[in-house]
Amino acid sequence: MQIKINGNHIITSKIEHHAILESCEVLAKKGFEITYLDVDEEGFVNLEQLENSINDKTILISIMFANNEIGTIEPIRQISEIARRHNIIFHTDAVQAIGNVPIDVKDMEIDMMSISGHKIYAPKGVGALYVKKGIKFEKFMSGGHQEKDKRGGTENLASIVGLGKAAELAKTNLNEHIKQLKELRDYFVKQIKEKIGTENIKINGSENFRLPGNSNISFKGIDGMALLLELDRKGICASSGSACTSGDPKPSHVLTAIKVPDEYIHGALRITMGEFNRKWEVDFLVENLKNILYNLEQIKWVDAHSFYLLIIYLLFPKSTFTFCLASSLSVLNKSEGAKLNIPAIIFDGNTCNLVLYIVTESL
């Protein structure tokens, strides 16, 4: 294949990891034109849009192998065929896919592929870039001739050896690993549907073409950050989007791209099963999740009524008694910049009881 080496147009998708998106933003500032492909409601790239976006300046197509948030596995072979027809280099971010999906770079005609060690239990901070023979690219880091003169600096041999061994084990155990994770993931989803119900939940991503250990579920009207905090209190690690941005309160760019409705987008929970997870841990997770969701629903009820009771207080400030709903609530009087200590109905998260405090003297 005679690949293009001149051009300034790159095609990627709207649901890529920030490692790709932010790199594209940097290149855009340097004069590159970036096309961000749409995805459907399951997270699949629009192949027709991909083909139509190619022009005579397109030099790279970069589409992730599998999405880190919703687990959707992209049609990599079809994407590579489109790239090959137009003599364009095809790169895939396979960080999530490595060790979880069978990958054959030659059969799939992948030109470049990025992987990260910690996803297959190698040391953190080490990764690899596969580059098909014949593809040339600029030196990434100067200061030495290591890494075939592409990345200067002394190699971290211990981590490199660790990555090599982890890759060897991942390949050997791949089929059993996929089977184990898929069984745990399917069991988790089944328990969610049976014990929590299906009325106010939405499973994000593809049902059939997704990473074996990935589950992304949105709960209608639930505050995702509150959900994560309560899970953390129980010793359960999860995220509301990418694990790299779990502290970001903004809606996930992935969930936004697949058009998750507003009432569900803030209540997303990403659970990833790993090699060392067991069935009893899934049971522990579901039981705690059920209780936490119930408690959060009760708090929603309290919050919904607090507004109306606050209005009553403002309309009748001299009333004999006033109710206000919150947890140790003090309401900010914005007009005077002061805090009014207001009696509260306090929600006890442990017993799920509402404790009512009634003021018997005038405020």
What is each CA distance from 58 to 45, 98, 133, 348, in whole angstroms? 18, 27, 21, 59
Q: Which two three-digit tokens encode residue 187?
A: 């069991």
Burial 48-59 (b: 16+ CB within 10 A, else e): eebeeebeeebb
Q: Which two three-digit tokens encode residue 50?
A: 């991909």
What is each CA distance from 200 to 177, 182, 232, 288, in whole angstroms? 32, 24, 23, 17
Catalytic residue, from 237, 244, 324, 352: name it: 244
Q: Would you give the distance in Å from CA 129 to the centre of its chain? A: 23
Is residue 241 within 8 A of residue 197, CB to CB? The reply is no
Q: Would you give the distance in Å from CA 35 to the centre of its chain? A: 22
Q: Give DSSP secondary structure letters for 200-224.
A: TEEE-S-SSSB-TTEEEEEETT--H
Q: 110 exposed, middle or buried (CB, 10 Å; 0-12, 13-18, 19+)? A: buried
What's the rounded Cα separation, in Å, for the pair 23 and 28?
9
Q: Are strands 89-93 and 58-62 parallel, antiparallel or unpaired?
A: parallel
What's the rounded Cα separation, in Å, for the pair 181 and 129?
26
Catalytic annotation on 237? no
User: Order of strands, edge to edge, in the sheet holding 89-93?
Assistant: 33-37, 9-13, 58-62, 89-93, 112-116, 127-131
Give the residue numbers marked as catalytic.
244
